[in-house]
Structure 1
């Protein structure tokens, strides 16, 4: 069915690259169109924990588990739960037993090992997708650099703000009630020494006033963080905050986290820092659409959700496995293959989204610390 077909994956994140690797293993020709200018662009975001049944299973099927364990970060999943006053309530670092059943890896090394596994010239860099239009039996893709490419089948792996999703469905996302301000402090041992020491190479979950602050150390020495707050949907536009200005973001933090211990203000002592606001959305649990025979989507493009259950990358990589299997095992036609994939993907996404929304509410409740400690204890004794 896929002989002599041009398969285009738009988006070179973990989901798109995993799909490319799995398809190439089956002898299928595929191109990945990625908007980054080159492979060495700095990768933002916290570390990723890969789950046995999804992310790790995808790497296993791709023959990349050994490479993963060369690049992963032992003990990076160890957690401290801290209140807004800086009092430690739970500390994985002092636990006698610690299970690393969800090993952590930084985003950049994960991307690197996936890229290195692909055939030469699989990824077409500097390909910022603008639009596509029906052409012959497939699509003509247009990119910001004025290039075009034809594909018989297009796979949208272009993230939460996917530009391809609209060619598949007009279902719009639902605001979760939480907006995250994501930040990254470079050279954190020097620029935020107290917080860097607090994290101990792992993660810190801090809670208070129905707000959250999650810190995550990265292997290259930076510290990523996410503030989670209950604000209205258009807060980013109406707040008056200039998120390109450290001073403006700091003034907001001092006001909205004003009752928190001053230790957290170390997030803003350096100019070597980066910020971006991210309102958190999810799609309806019962979303459905009419399958098309030449375009589908995976990962956040299909089922974006808040990050508070650590499922995003795992879902995307599992989508890649399921989609590959459907494409390989269905011999009748492309429509049947994509329909089977989408049915399985949407059913699984509905369950995971429901769990994620429960976790999101829990972490921004008045007793978040108590509830999270209960959850951690239940997990450890499962």
Structure 2
């Protein structure tokens, strides 16, 4: 098998997992290229804020040599959490200690920028949409891109998310709709434009649910708040009601009707947003999702174990990335490294996925968080 001293490694996907893997590989002197379908790093919104945990995401950043830089950019105050009822009454309030650093928040775009800036120039190749992974079982692998180009490599790492193209080389599994959907609303310059909502949400997050519907509001950097309207609806509910995602007034009217029993203050979280709503139906891979080892191909993050968005996704992706990169640095061959990585990653991801199977429904629950018995303010 190919020696890890000079393997040709290609990572597909320039998200936190793929970039973390590339960074740690380069720290160990291993060449790698990253290929992403976006036209560039600023081609689209990178999403909301992330909490990186001390026992997984931060471990990866330490191995990447970026932990101190992360703490300089992160928002520890973002660990504040409020649980509200539909009237807006605070049922539970967690305020982090001044030195609490277990899971500080950082905006996705800021984290991505930190990782991109840490890579050698030319590592990331933009505008590269992967169409297929081909080649003999014993390698090398051929990557076929939408622009007609091909690339031969000894290892292709699928870090290409929920609709992974690389996954098809290992598994026929496809994500399934969980029955729960998010509708994302943005609020800009909240201190001056939406002061009441800024006060309601605080410096971290605020959640409320009535068993059938819910709201999750989260402070981002730059005086920005994102609100996720959570509903148990068909995945295509907007089209089924004769609307499009650009019909803001029509969607808003439907939401206000569905939340008609909530207080006026809480309803402003779905009606006073700046701009369009963003439709985000929640999908997850079947549980368990595993595959038989095949030389030259492996997966990490959502490509390997897409789960409901309950605070584990990016942390697991970065831990996967860290363990795979270290395995490649420490084993004599690529195949030995990938086998060692998969022996650890697959059981861990299956265990976590089983624990979260069906947990999208918990987003609508009226129960308080598990840490509700901890110190309260």
Q: TM-score normalized by structure 2? A: 0.90
Q: Which has the higher contact order (CA 8 A, sep 6+)?
A: 2
For 1:201 and 1:175, locate their aligned partners in 2 and report how far apart those are by CA, in whole Å. Answer: 32
Structure 1 partner of 2:218: 216
Cα deviations across residues 98-135 of structure 1 (Å, max 9, x unaligned)?
84421111111111111111111111122232333327
For 1:50 and 1:8, locate their aligned partners in 2 and report how far apart those are by CA, in whole Å. Answer: 25
Give 1:372's match in structure 2, choosing from 360, 368, 371: 368
Give 1:197's match in structure 2, choosing from 196, 199, 216: 199
Give 1:24's match in structure 2, choosing from 17, 23, 26: 26
Q: Are 1:70 and 2:72 an aligned pair?
A: yes
| Counterparts in 2 of 1:379 and 1:46: CA distance versus 1, 3 Å | farther
CA contact (8 A) 2:23 2:118 kept: yes
How far the C-alpha of 1:88 sits from its partner, in A, is 1.4
> Residues 284-363 of structure 1: matches in 2 within 5 Å?
284-308=286-310, 310-331=311-332, 333-357=333-357, 359-363=359-363
SS in 1 for 2:173: coil
SS in 2 for 1:76: helix
Cα deviations across residues 292-344 of structure 1 (Å, max 9, x unaligned)?
11111100011001112x0000000000112123222332x433322222231
Structure 2 partner of 1:164: 166
SS in 2 for 1:119: coil
Give 1:245's match in structure 2, choosing from 234, 247, 254: 247
For 2:112 and 2:327, locate their aligned partners in 1 and report how far apart those are by CA, in whole Å. Answer: 24
Matched pairs, number: 373
CA contact (8 A) 1:192 1:266 kept: no
CA contact (8 A) 1:13 1:157 kept: yes
CA contact (8 A) 2:180 2:361 kept: no
CA contact (8 A) 1:246 1:271 kept: no
SS in 2 for 1:225: strand
| Counterparts in 2 of 1:213 and 1:42: CA distance versus 1, 3 Å | same
For 1:43 and 1:90, locate their aligned partners in 2 and report how far apart those are by CA, in whole Å. Answer: 32
How far the C-alpha of 1:372 sits from its partner, in A, is 1.9
> Residues 100-139 of structure 1: matches in 2 within 5 Å?
100-134=101-135, 137-139=139-141
For 1:185 and 1:138, locate their aligned partners in 2 and report how far apart those are by CA, in whole Å. Answer: 48
Structure 1 partner of 2:180: 178
* 39-48 or 252-261, larger mean C-alpha shift: 39-48
| Counterparts in 2 of 1:61 and 1:379: CA distance versus 1, 3 Å | farther
Question: Structure 1: where are the runs of 5+ without partners?
Answer: none
CA contact (8 A) 2:170 2:297 kept: yes
| Counterparts in 2 of 1:150 and 1:247: CA distance versus 1, 3 Å | farther
How far the C-alpha of 1:251 sits from its partner, in A, is 2.1
| Counterparts in 2 of 1:270 and 1:256: CA distance versus 1, 3 Å | closer
Give 1:61's match in structure 2, choosing from 60, 63, 70: 63
Question: Structure 2: where are the runs of 5+ without partners?
Answer: none
How far the C-alpha of 1:50 sits from its partner, in A, is 0.9
For 1:218 and 1:130, locate their aligned partners in 2 and report how far apart those are by CA, in whole Å. Answer: 34
Structure 2 partner of 1:275: 277
